[in-house]
């Protein structure tokens, strides 16, 4: 039998490695930004065109590379971070595998300019599809400038798997935010298609969070700080009242490296037990400092998952730290049965001097006056009650007689007692007869049996079809607000809202010109309350960020679905009889009354035969 195993060519091996490391343009951004951080940069600039498909450029002022290092950096498994296997357990840097630049160069056209501070001239290197085209001296400033052009140009199948520009841009923003939050002492800027999305000066963690997520984020943060032998924990958690229905603002950093951990996430969420609404997720920005010997970061190509030496102890420490911070800043309620609330001193009286109490004395009072002078001319003190005369007992009933005569002018509301268990058809009118079960289902009788409708899903379907009609055909009515509603969002969210503004106008929203990171809403749809607008907008943005549609119809469908879901009557809401009938009638006037927009069953029919079987 002939030999069939052979070594792969370098260009094929690099493309295979690129499939693991470089999944989308955001992966390139992550690797280049982390390289800039490892080079001790204090300023990093990111420029992207067409969501990274055309250009990704990262410029830093780090240590730069020599001529030899610049060439070796694109070789597979060439790294300055480790020399022996033991070094894997003492890593303090981001990258260490030596695969990133080789993988990027294998699937794109790369141009590198770099210069150490000690050298007079720098090095320019051009690589296309893993092949070096040129290397020459150039004039450049200290640091490194990477240009990655035409990503996946030599692998068209991989390029076709990329999502729309909006989706890929969202992933790039996520990676940028993770690196920027992990290193608040480094200044960052981010431009997309010549539009500035972020300009972040070097600062502390709290201010970095505010600069990224908007000015009003500052009032939502609760500091967390704890130091033990196992780990040092610093950062912030969001107040429970500002919890969102999405997991967007949840960040864990271990030794300045962003990680994902469902186990640690559960520890934080459990510390909010009893403080969050249903299906709400807390925000947190937590940095953990752990001895590198206690963790293993070499278990995943993207290095976003790590293993801990003692996960159970870390879970308990993290949970206790967050719970302690919530209690320390009076976020969570504290029950103290030993404390007497009457001993608390109000803040406004704490520094006031004590006042001498005043005593009023009746100096004319003589207790022996009654014996000496009898009842005649008895002086009654002002503070003594007048004694009633037992002989005047008839006066006690005088007021009662007056009330009896005056009651003829009033009608007393009473309910007629009937022996019937149910009202007759004539008493209840001609409309469908309904009642609400557990504030969740609307029950109605039909010819064949009984109809049970899920009120939330039914209203979801009604609003969905109504909003689709508003966006595409008939604009909805809008209720004007007395004072504009001001909402704060990040720059990427504001850009997304601007792209959706025409469709939102059709549904009844009215906007004023935006200011910096705020939008002013002057009108809202008639079917929602002003207090629900912020939550509705947040959920809408989250849905568009997670699944940005490609076509116009998909965009309209997603917007109608998102708005209808937020506006629909929730389970647990008490409905009047007229509201129950209205939902029943409007549901069966819809084009698809059987299924909700999420493809869930809206109603079930229980026939008389089904009921008969229950009694067998």
Q: What is the pLDDT of residues 39-88, one digit of tens each?
A: 889 999 999 999 899 999 999 999 999 888 888 888 876 666 665 665 55
**pLDDT digits over 337-372, tens only?**
555 555 555 555 666 777 787 787 778 877 776 555
Q: What is the reported pLDDT for 382? A: 46
282 phi and psi angles, rounded to 5 deg: -75, 155
For residue 98, which of 82, 110, 86, 84 has the smallest C-alpha distance? 82
Q: In terms of residues, how long is the chain?
A: 616
The tens digit of pLDDT for each residue in 129-139 reads 888 889 999 98
374 or 208: which leads in pLDDT:
208
Q: Is residue 564 pLDDT above 90, yes or no? A: no
Query: Higher pLDDT residue, 234 or 572?
Result: 234
Average pLDDT of the residues in 179-191: 94
Report which of 502, 557, 509, 561 is spatially closest to residue 533, judged by C-alpha positions: 509
Q: pTM (2 decimals)?
A: 0.69
The answer to whether 523 touches 483, Cβ cutoff 8 Å, is no
**Is a pLDDT exceeding 70 seen at residue 565?**
yes
User: How much is the average pLDDT of 231-242?
Assistant: 90
Alpha-carbon 319 to chain mean position: 20
pLDDT tens digits for range 98-112: 678 888 888 899 999
**pLDDT at position 547:** 61
Element (H, E) at 558: helix 552-567
DSSP 19-35: HHH-SSHHHHHHHHHHH
Instruction: Kindly tell me if the per-residue pLDDT of 203 is higher than 90.
Output: yes
Nearest-angstrom CA–CA distance, 466 and 591: 11
In this prediction, residues 171-178 reach a mean pLDDT of 92
Task: Give percent of the chain with pLDDT exceeding 90.
Answer: 20
Q: What is the CATH number of domain 436-605?
A: 3.30.1370.100
Q: Is the pLDDT of residue 398 over 60?
A: no
Give the residue among 249, 242, 203, 200 at the shortest CA–CA distance from 219: 242
394 — pLDDT class (breaks 50, 70, 90): low
pLDDT score for 478:
82
**575 has a pLDDT exceeding 90:** no
CA 120 to CA 141: how far, in whole Å? 10
pLDDT bracket for residue 15 (50, 70, 90): low
CATH 3.30.230.10 for domain 212-328, yes or no, is: yes
The residue that leads in pLDDT, 83 or 13, is 13
Higher pLDDT, 318 or 351: 318
Sign of CA dihedral 550, 555, 561, 566: positive
- 393 falls in which pLDDT band (50, 70, 90)? low
Q: What angle do CA 578, 580, 582 make, to 5 degrees?
A: 70
Please state, as a whole number, how many other Cβ atoms lie within 10 Å of the Cβ of residue 575.
Answer: 18
Contacts made by residues 9-13, CB under 8 angstroms, sequence distance 24+: 10/76, 10/130, 11/106, 11/129, 11/130, 11/131, 13/76
Which range in 68-72, 297-301, 364-368, 540-544 is most confidently predicted, on average pLDDT? 68-72
User: Higher confidence at residue 410 or residue 87?
Assistant: 87
Would you state the torsion angle of the CA atoms of residues 71, 73, 76, 78, taken in this order, to the nearest 10 degrees? 110
Query: Residue ranges of the domains in the chain?
Result: 10-200, 212-328, 436-605
More confident residue, 24 or 164: 24
- pLDDT mean over 512-516: 71
Long-range CB contact pairs, 301-304, < 8 A, 24+ = 301/20, 301/21, 301/97, 301/99, 302/21, 302/27, 302/30, 303/94, 303/257, 304/258, 304/259, 304/260
Contact assessment for residue 458 and residue 442, using Cβ atoms and an 8 Å cutoff: yes
Calculate what percentage of the chain has a pLDDT beyond 70: 77
pLDDT of residue 306: 80
Given this model, what pLDDT does residue 91 score? 62
Say which residue the tokens 């998102």 belong to.
562
Q: Is the pLDDT of residue 427 over 80?
A: no
Mention every residue, 6+ apart, whose C-beta is less than 8 A from residue 234: 205, 224, 225, 286, 287, 289
Instruction: State the number of CA atoms in the 13 A half-sphere of 575 facing the CB.
Output: 27
Tokens 């990655």 belong to residue: 148
pLDDT of residue 419: 39
Reported as type and span, the H/E element at residue 180 is helix 165-182
Q: What is the pLDDT averaged over residues 544-566?
A: 73
594 pLDDT more than 80: yes
**Which helix H or strand E contains 48, and what residues bound it?**
strand 43-49
226-243: average pLDDT: 89
Among 250-259, 358-367, 382-391, 584-593, where is mean pLDDT lowest?
A: 382-391
409 burial class (0-12, 13-18, 19+ CB within 10 angstroms)? exposed
**Per-residue pLDDT, 60:** 94
Span of 116-120, 233-237, 345-349 with lowest mean pLDDT? 345-349
Token pair recorded at residue 209: 């969070």
Lowest mean pLDDT among 234-238, 357-361, 386-390: 386-390
Distances (CA, A) of 543 to 225, 252, 565: 33, 23, 11
pLDDT at residue 539, as a whole number: 79
Q: Are 179 and 255 in contact, with CB atoms under 8 Å apart?
A: no
Range with lowest mean pLDDT among 141-145, 353-357, 372-376, 520-524: 372-376
Average pLDDT, the chain: 79
Q: SS3 for 332?
A: coil
Strand partners for 437: 441
Name the least confident of 169-178, 187-196, 470-479: 470-479
In the predicted model, what is the mean pLDDT of residues 527-553? 73
How confident is the model at residue 413, as a pLDDT? 44
Q: Give me the residue label for tokens 């500091």.
A: 223
Alpha-carbon distance of 80 to 62, in angstroms, equals 15
Residue 486 banded pLDDT, cuts 50, 70, 90: confident
Least confident of 279-293, 445-459, 463-477: 463-477
425, pLDDT greater than 50? no
Alpha-carbon span 288 to 245, nearest angstrom: 25
Mean pLDDT of 520-546: 80
Instruction: Give helix 552-567 / helix 533-546 axis angle, nearest 10°.
Output: 140
Q: Which residue has the tokens 């037990």?
A: 273
CATH topology for 10-200?
A: Heat Shock Protein 90 (3.30.565)
Pairwise CA distance, residues 561 & 544, whole Å: 11
Is the predicted pLDDT of residue 616 greater than 70, yes or no?
Answer: yes
């Amino acid at each position: 039998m002939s030999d069939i195993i052979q070594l792969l060519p370098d260009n094929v091996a690099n493309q295979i490695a690129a499939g693991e490391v470089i999944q989308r343009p955001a992966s390139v951004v992550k690797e280049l930004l982390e390289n800039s951080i490892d080079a001790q940069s204090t300023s990093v600039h990111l420029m992207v065109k067409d969501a990274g498909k055309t250009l990704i450029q990262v410029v830093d002022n780090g240590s730069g590379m020599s001529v030899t290092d610049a060439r070796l950096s694109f070789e597979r498994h060439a790294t300055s971070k480790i020399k022996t296997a033991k070094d894997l357990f003492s890593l303090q840097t981001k990258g260490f595998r030596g695969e990133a630049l080789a993988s990027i160069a294998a699937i794109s056209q790369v141009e590198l300019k770099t210069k150490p501070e000690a050298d007079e001239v720098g090095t320019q290197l051009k690589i296309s599809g893993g092949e070096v085209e040129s290397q020459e001296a150039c004039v450049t400033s200290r640091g490194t400038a990477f240009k990655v052009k035409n990503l996946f140009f030599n692998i068209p199948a991989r390029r076709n798997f990329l999502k729309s520009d909006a989706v890929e841009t969202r992933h790039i923003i996520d990676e940028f935010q993770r690196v920027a939050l992990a290193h608040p002492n480094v200044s960052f800027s981010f431009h997309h298609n010549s539009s500035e999305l972020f300009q972040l000066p070097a600062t502390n963690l709290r201010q970095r969070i505010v600069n990224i997520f908007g000015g009003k984020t500052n009032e939502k943060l609760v500091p967390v700080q704890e130091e033990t032998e196992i780990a040092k924990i610093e950062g912030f958690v969001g107040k429970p009242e500002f919890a969102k229905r999405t997991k967007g603002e949840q960040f864990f950093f271990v030794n300045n490296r962003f990680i994902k951990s469902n186990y640690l996430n559960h520890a934080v969420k459990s510390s909010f037990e009893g403080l969050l609404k249903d299906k709400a997720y807390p925000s947190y920005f937590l940095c953990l400092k752990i001895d590198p010997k206690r963790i293993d970061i070499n278990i995943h190509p993207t290095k976003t998952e790590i293993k801990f030496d003692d996960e159970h102890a870390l879970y308990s420490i993290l949970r206790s730290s967050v719970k302690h911070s919530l209690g320390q800043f009076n976020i969570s309620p504290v029950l103290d049965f030993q404390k007497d609330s009457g001993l608390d001193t109000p803040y406004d009286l704490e520094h006031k001097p004590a006042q001498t109490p005043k005593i009023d004395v009746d100096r004319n009072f003589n207790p022996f006056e009654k014996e000496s002078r009898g009842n005649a001319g008895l002086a009654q003190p002002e503070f003594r009650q007048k004694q009633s005369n037992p002989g005047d007992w008839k006066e006690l009933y005088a007021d009662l007689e007056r009330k009896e005569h005056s009651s003829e002018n009033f009608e007393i509301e009473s309910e007629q007692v009937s022996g019937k268990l149910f009202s007759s058809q004539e008493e209840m009118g001609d409309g469908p007869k309904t009642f609400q079960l557990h504030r969740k289902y609307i029950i109605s009788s039909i010819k064949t049996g009984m109809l049970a409708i899920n009120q939330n899903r039914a209203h979801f379907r009604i609003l969905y079809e109504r909003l689709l009609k508003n966006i595409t055909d008939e604009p909805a009515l809008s209720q004007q607000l007395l004072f504009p509603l001001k909402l704060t969002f990040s720059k990427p969210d504001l850009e997304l809202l601007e792209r959706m503004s025409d469709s939102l106008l059709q549904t009844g929203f009215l906007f004023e010109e935006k200011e910096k990171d705020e939008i002013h809403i002057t009108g809202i749809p008639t079917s929602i309350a002003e207090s629900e607008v912020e939550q509705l907008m947040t959920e809408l943005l989250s849905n568009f960020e997670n699944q940005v549609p490609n076509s116009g119809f998909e965009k309209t469908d997603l917007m109608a679905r998102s708005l209808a879901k937020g506006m629909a009557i929730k389970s647990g809401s008490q409905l009047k009889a007229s509201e129950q009938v209205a939902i029943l009638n409007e549901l069966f006037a819809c084009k698809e009354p059987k299924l909700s927009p999420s493809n869930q069953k809206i109603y079930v029919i229980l026939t008389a035969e089904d009921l008969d079987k229950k009694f067998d």
